[in-house]
Amino acid sequence: GNSVTQMEGPVTLSEEAFLTINCTYTATGYPSLFWYVQYPGEGLQLLLKATKADDKGSNKGFEATYRKETTSFHLEKGSVQVSDSAVYFCALTMLYNQGGKLIFGQGTELSVKP
């Protein structure tokens, strides 16, 4: 079946460090890919998305590129801030008209220290 695998957390970084959170997927077909973020005490929020191969999603300094050849959608940020501390979820959807039916990874907790 379709699935998403993320790197295990927690990830602890110092402020201004470079961030990579790995995400790989298994899908029969061509999914759309997403990163959602969950700040403490808040609901999940869409961070960025990519709908076809080689698309790059970006938002708030975060980027992820849809790599069909490696079935990956790794999240990167050049310089993290304490305010980026949150849980990050990679997700996919298979059906264009059921884009809200998401398959999530297990989440990766990020903790940024000053």
Partner 1 sequence: DTGVSQDPRHKITKRGQNVTFRCDPISEHNRLYWYRQTLGQGPEFLTYFQNEAQLEKSRLLSDRFSAERPKGSFSTLEIQRTEQGDSAMYLCASSSYRGRVEKLFFGSGTQLSVL
Nearer to partner 1, 42 or 69 (CB): 42
- In the complex with partner 1, the residue whose CB is nearer, 77 or 105, is 105
Q: Rounded to 5 degrees, what angle do the CA atoms 4, 59, 17 make?
A: 80
Least Å from the CB of residue 51 to partner 1: 6
C-alpha dist (Å) from residue 1 to 13, 25, 60, 96? 34, 10, 32, 18
Which residues form the interface with partner 1 (CB under 8 A)?
Answer: 4, 32, 36, 41-46, 49, 51, 89, 91, 93, 96-107
As measured in angstroms, the least distance from the Cβ of 101 to partner 1 is 5
Chain mean position to CA 38: 11
At 104, which amino acid appears?
F
Minimum distance from residue 37 beta carbon to partner 1 (Å): 11
